[in-house]
């Protein structure tokens, strides 16, 4: 409350002073937008606590004016309904902090009782994420896929067509090895290589794999 | 390789081919000697001429600039010294009116005290009355021989007793007179002290006036030197300007440090007002520019206060305002400065609150235990920031003083450096012109080295022809060691 009073008083004074400077501002957007896909299929649903850690890291790192959305990867993920929480943080730091608290509470509540799904539609989630990111108009757009990157579609779902991820960074996070990967590591490496190829063919600006949860700072290292 | 063979006159004998080719080339070069020399000299003049001309022009410009700098410097020095003399005279006038205004009173007091002391002294000088004349009679009586007569003895005893009684009286009278004189002398003391004090005061005043007069004299000497446009005066003024420049630069660097701290205090809370996501350039946020603008406005207000107080003279229009307007301006500037200081203090508090809020958020995100409240100790940084936020704008106001010195001395320093730079440039151009000239000479000689055989032949031919003409063909000047080009 006190912060708001100060804000109001000082805003009047500085408004005139800043008007000229703001008028000739940089038209490019310096905001960041992050869309995080959380895989909730099969055994990967057990990684929910790790997903919450990543969300907390993002909330702590993103600045006022940035956007964040967390969506789940289900059997068919190309839907707004699968977005657990989304927010474009206010440009005022105090308001942004309040929004971040609410965001955290929302995602925490969801991930506490997450139910595993039968199939995994990563492509649908990517298309949905690209839509969200493009709408934000942010300067830097990032999709984080918290998944083992094993897509598993039902017979009806169609995803084998080229997608568009222009100027979007794609980061695969915590790509766990499946039992079959342990038998033949080429399956794991081949899976990652296939995603790399598909994502870059879609026009993505970067593809990165981060498996060490202690190196989350590298998410924004080159952005 | 095949290209090389193409040039061989006798492909089977490359040495001979090269020798013949060299001889042919030598003859060709010998034939082109005069135009080649002319070409080299012309090229040298083409290059060296403008360089020499440029160097001369630069030296001229440097000299003009130096004269102009000197004129400006002397004018500035004259004005400053004039102002200083004016101030010294004002001080002197103040001292004279303060110290010598009461001088007649002081003199009267002094004279009165001296008169009183003189009178008292005269009183002290009064000697006790001499012994009465009958002393001689007593002496005569004392010489009378008693002869053993009782009557005479009795008379003498009576006389002695009378004399003793008179002597005691006279002695008592004498002592009383001395006691009186001593008491008069004792009464002198306060007058002497007062006299001494008054004299010391007069001495002190006179010394002060003498010192002030000496300062005026020193300033006058300096003023005369400046008026005479002497080199010594110029040198002194330049040195003084360099010193001022250095000192002002140091003080301004310190002030910049203060401004930076100030900036750090208000940059974050400014994002709460103008938003944290607006950018002026790729790395410069609007909130940072806003904070910077606030600081600059504070510095400007400080400048206006200093100008209105006539401490600085950067804006003649302000210092020329009438006193009423100036007072108004002081109050307006001070009020705005006070307001801005208050806002900064509030912003500093807000900064602390924002940081605490961010810290709390990060702690909740990291799910770590919150920091234990430190009680009143925890409020010290907040209070410190608020006080700093309030004080720094006023401290920044004083930047106007070194800023004025900096600006004034920068003209002299910049001018002097520019003169040196132009001189250095001129010098470099002159060196380049000389190098070109020497290079051209070297090339001419190098060319002659290439065609040494034809030149030798020419030399011998000329010597023989000269000898045949004079009948002394075998006499060659032994001093002639170089080959002269064809005229």
pLDDT digits (tens, 9 = 90+) for B286-319: 888 999 999 999 999 999 999 998 888 888 888 8
How large is the C-alpha radius of gyration of chain A? Answer: 19
Residue B33 clears pLDDT 60, i.e. is over it: yes
Residue B285, in any domain of the structure:
yes
Residue B34: C-alpha distances to residues B27, B31, B179, B339, B453 (Å): 13, 8, 128, 86, 16
Between these two residues, B277 and B330, which has the higher pLDDT value?
B330
> Minimal Cα–Cα distance from B314 to chain A, Å?
24
Clarify whether residues B311 and B223 are in a common domain. Answer: no
Residues of chain A contacting B, Cβ within 8 Å: 2-3, 6-7, 9-11, 13-14, 17-18, 21-22, 24-26, 28, 30-31, 56-57, 59-60, 63-66, 91-94, 96-97, 100-101, 104
* A35-69: pLDDT as tens digits: 999 988 877 777 888 899 999 999 999 988 899 99
**Confidence label for A15 from pLDDT (cuts 50, 70 and 90):** very low
Task: Determine, for residues B276 and A11 on separate chains, whether the beta-carbon distance falls below 8 Å.
Answer: no
- Partner residue facing A6 (CB), from B277, B297, B346: B346
What contacts A115, CB < 8 A, 6 or more positions away? A40, A45
Q: Dihedral of the CA atoms B344, B349, B350, B353 (nearest 10)? A: 160
Q: Which two tokens stand for residue B365?
A: 């995100």
Identify the CA nearest to A77 among candidates A46, A107, A110, A36. A36
> Minimal Cα–Cα distance from A138 to chain B, Å?
11
Clarify whether residues B166 and B188 are in a common domain. Answer: yes
Strand partners, B84: none
Mutation target to probe the A interface, by most A beta carbons within 10 A, among B270, B272, B292 is B272
CB count, 10 Å around CB of A80?
11
- Partner residue facing A13 (CB), from B272, B278, B343: B343
- pLDDT for res B370: 59
Q: Are strands A67-73 and A83-88 parallel, antiparallel or unpaired?
A: antiparallel
Task: Determine, for residues A60 and B361 on separate chains, whether the beta-carbon distance falls below 8 Å.
Answer: yes
Identify the CA nearest to A117 among candidates A38, A55, A34, A36. A38
Burial class (CB in 10 A: 0-12, 13-18, 19+), B141: middle
Q: Poorest-confidence range of A46-55, A81-90, B272-281? A: B272-281
Give the start-to-end residue ranges of the domains of chain A. Answer: 30-219
Residue B5, in any domain of the structure:
yes
The domain boundary, picked from B207, B227, B247, lies at B227
Q: Is B91 helix (H, G, I), strand (E, B) or coil?
A: helix
Clarify whether residues B204 and B259 are in a common domain. Answer: no
User: What percentage of residues in chain B have a pLDDT greater than 70?
Assistant: 90
Residue A128 clears pLDDT 60, i.e. is over it: yes
The domain boundary, picked from B199, B227, B255, lies at B227
**Confidence label for B331 from pLDDT (cuts 50, 70 and 90):** very high
Complete edge-to-edge strand list for the sheet that includes strand A206-210: A83-88, A67-73, A32-39, A140-146, A168-173, A206-210
- pLDDT for res B44: 93
Task: Determine, for residues B365 and A59 on separate chains, whether the beta-carbon distance falls below 8 Å.
Answer: yes
Q: Is B484 helix (H, G, I), strand (E, B) or coil?
A: coil
Residue B185, in any domain of the structure:
yes
8 Å CB contact between A171 and A219: yes
Clarify whether residues B243 and B210 are in a common domain. Answer: no
What fold, for A30-219? Answer: Rossmann fold (3.40.50)
Element holding A146 (H helix, E strand)? strand A140-146
Q: Which chain B residues are Cβ-neighbours of A91 within 8 angstroms?
A: 271, 275-278
Q: Which chain A residues are Cβ-neighbours of B277 within 8 angstroms?
A: 30-31, 63-66, 91
Clarify whether residues B185 and B210 are in a common domain. Answer: yes
Task: Determine, for residues A64 and B294 on separate chains, whether the beta-carbon distance falls below 8 Å.
Answer: no
Cβ–Cβ pairs < 8 A, chains A and B: 114
> Minimal Cα–Cα distance from A19 to chain B, Å?
9
Q: Which chain B residues are Cβ-neighbours of A24 within 8 angstroms?
A: 280
- Partner residue facing B293 (CB), from A18, A66, A91: A18
Task: Determine, for residues A6 and B274 on separate chains, whether the beta-carbon distance falls below 8 Å.
Answer: no
Q: Rounded to two decimals, what is the model's pTM?
A: 0.63
- Partner residue facing A17 (CB), from B269, B277, B293: B293
User: By residue range, what is the domain housing residue B391?
Assistant: 236-369+377-398
Residue B147 clears pLDDT 80, i.e. is over it: no
Tell me how far apart the alpha carbons of residues B202 and B200 are, in angstroms, rounded to a whole number: 5
List the end-to-end C-alpha distance of chain B, in Å, as a whole number. Answer: 42
Chain A contact present for B413, CB below 8 A: no
Q: Which chain A residues are Cβ-neighbours of B286 within 8 angstroms?
A: 18, 21-22, 25
Clarify whether residues B384 and B244 are in a common domain. Answer: yes
Phi, psi of B398 (to 5 degrees): -80, -5
**Total count of domains within chain B:** 3
Residue A1 clears pLDDT 80, i.e. is over it: no
Task: Determine, for residues A64 and B275 on separate chains, whether the beta-carbon distance falls below 8 Å.
Answer: yes
Identify the CA nearest to A130 among candidates A64, A191, A218, A202. A202
Residue B486, in any domain of the structure:
no
Q: Which chain A residues are Cβ-neighbours of B271 within 8 angstroms?
A: 64, 91-93
Clarify whether residues B204 and B265 are in a common domain. Answer: no
Tell me how far apart the alpha carbons of residues B384 and B406 are, in angstroms, rounded to a whole number: 32
Mutation target to probe the B interface, by most B beta carbons within 10 A, among A5, A9, A14 is A14
Half-sphere exposure of B158 (CA within 13 A, CB side): 6
> Minimal Cα–Cα distance from A154 to chain B, Å?
37
Task: Determine, for residues A10 and B281 on separate chains, whether the beta-carbon distance falls below 8 Å.
Answer: no
Tell me how far apart the alpha carbons of residues B211 and B208 are, in angstroms, rounded to a whole number: 5
Strand partners, A169: A142, A206
Residue whose pair of structure tokens reads 């590591």 in the numeric block:
A185
Report the interhelical angle of B33-95 vs B400-450 (nearest 10°): 160
Tell me how far apart the alpha carbons of residues B408 and B76 are, in angstroms, rounded to a whole number: 9
Task: Determine, for residues A22 and B286 on separate chains, whether the beta-carbon distance falls below 8 Å.
Answer: yes
Clarify whether residues B257 and B321 are in a common domain. Answer: yes
Residue B338 clears pLDDT 90, i.e. is over it: yes
**What is the Cα B89 distance to its own chain's centre?**
23
Chain A contact present for B110, CB below 8 A: no
Residue B478, in any domain of the structure:
no
8 Å CB contact between B309 and B404: no
Task: Determine, for residues A30 and B282 on separate chains, whether the beta-carbon distance falls below 8 Å.
Answer: yes
Residue B132, in any domain of the structure:
yes
* A153-162: pLDDT as tens digits: 888 888 888 8
Residue B2 clears pLDDT 80, i.e. is over it: no
In this prediction, residues B109-125 reach a mean pLDDT of 78
């Amino acid at each position: 409350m006190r912060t708001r009073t100060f804000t109001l008083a000082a805003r009047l004074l500085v408004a005139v002073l800043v008007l000229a400077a703001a008028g000739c501002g940089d038209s490019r957007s310096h905001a960041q937008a992050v869309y995080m896909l959380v895989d909730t299929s099969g055994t990967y649903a057990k990684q929910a606590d790790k997903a919450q850690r990543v969300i907390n890291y993002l909330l702590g790192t993103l600045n006022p004016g940035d956007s964040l959305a967390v969506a789940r990867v289900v059997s068919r993920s190309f839907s707004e309904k699968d977005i657990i929480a989304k927010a474009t943080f206010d440009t005022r730091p105090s308001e942004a902090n309040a929004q971040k608290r609410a965001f955290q509470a929302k995602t925490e509540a969801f991930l506490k009782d997450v139910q595993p799904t039968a199939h995994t539609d990563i492509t649908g989630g990517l298309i949905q994420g690209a839509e969200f990111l493009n709408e934000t108009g942010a300067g830097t757009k990032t999709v984080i896929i918290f998944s083992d990157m094993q897509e598993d579609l039902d017979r009806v779902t169609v995803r084998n067509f080229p997608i568009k991820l222009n100027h979007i960074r794609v980061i695969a996070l915590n790509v766990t090895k499946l039992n079959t990967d342990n038998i033949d590591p080429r399956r794991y490496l081949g899976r990652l290589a296939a995603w790399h190829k598909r994502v870059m063919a879609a026009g993505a600006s970067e593809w990165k794999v981060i498996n060490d949860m202690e190196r989350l700072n590298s998410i924004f290292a080159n952005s | 390789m095949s290209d090389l063979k193409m040039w061989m006159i006798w492909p089977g004998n490359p040495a001979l081919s090269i020798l013949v080719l060299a001889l042919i080339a030598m003859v060709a070069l010998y034939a082109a000697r005069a135009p080649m020399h002319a070409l080299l000299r012309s090229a040298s003049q083409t290059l060296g001429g403008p360089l020499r001309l440029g160097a001369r022009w630069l030296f001229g410009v440097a000299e003009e600039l130096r004269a102009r700098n000197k004129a400006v410097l002397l004018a500035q020095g004259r004005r400053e010294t004039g102002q200083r003399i004016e101030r010294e005279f004002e001080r002197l006038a103040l001292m004279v009116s303060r110290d010598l205004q009461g001088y007649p009173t002081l003199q009267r007091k002094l004279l009165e005290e001296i008169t009183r002391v003189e009178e008292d002294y005269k009183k002290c000088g009064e000697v006790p009355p001499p012994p009465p004349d009958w002393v001689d009679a007593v002496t005569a009586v004392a010489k009378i021989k008693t002869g053993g007569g009782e009557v005479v003895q009795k008379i003498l005893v009576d006389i002695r007793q009378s004399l003793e009684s008179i002597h005691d009286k006279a002695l008592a009278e004498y002592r009383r007179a001395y006691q009186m004189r001593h008491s008069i002398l004792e009464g002198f003391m306060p007058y002497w002290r007062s006299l001494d004090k008054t004299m010391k005061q007069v001495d002190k005043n006179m010394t002060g006036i003498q010192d002030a007069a000496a300062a005026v004299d020193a300033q006058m000497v300096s003023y005369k030197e400046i008026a005479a446009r002497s080199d010594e005066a110029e040198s002194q003024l330049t040195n003084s300007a360099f010193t001022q420049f250095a000192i002002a630069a140091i003080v301004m660097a310190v002030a910049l440090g203060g401004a930076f701290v100030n900036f750090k205090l208000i940059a974050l809370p400014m994002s709460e007002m103008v938003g944290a996501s607006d950018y002026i350039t790729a790395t410069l946020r609007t909130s940072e520019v806003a904070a910077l603008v606030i600081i600059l406005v504070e510095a400007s207000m400080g400048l206006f206060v200093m100008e209105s107080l006539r401490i600085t003279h950067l804006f003649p229009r302000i210092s020329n305002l009438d006193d009423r307007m100036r007072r108004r301006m002081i109050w307006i500037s001070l009020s705005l400065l006070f307001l801005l200081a208050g806002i900064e203090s509030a912003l500093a508090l807000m900064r602390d609150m924002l940081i605490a809020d961010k810290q709390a958020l990060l702690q909740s995100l990291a799910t770590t235990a919150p920091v234990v409240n430190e009680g009143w100790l925890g409020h010290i940084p907040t209070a410190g920031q608020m006080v700093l936020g309030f004080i720094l704008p006023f401290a920044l106001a004083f930047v106007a003083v070194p800023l004025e010195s900096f600006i004034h001395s920068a003209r002299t320093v910049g001018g002097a450096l520019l003169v040196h730079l132009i001189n250095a440039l001129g010098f470099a151009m002159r060196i380049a012109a000389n190098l070109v000239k020497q290079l051209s000479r070297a090339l001419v000689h190098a060319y002659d080295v290439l065609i040494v055989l034809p030149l030798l032949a020419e030399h011998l031919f000329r010597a023989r022809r000269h000898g045949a003409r004079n009948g002394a063909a075998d006499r060659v000047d032994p001093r002639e060691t170089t080959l002269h080009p064809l005229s």
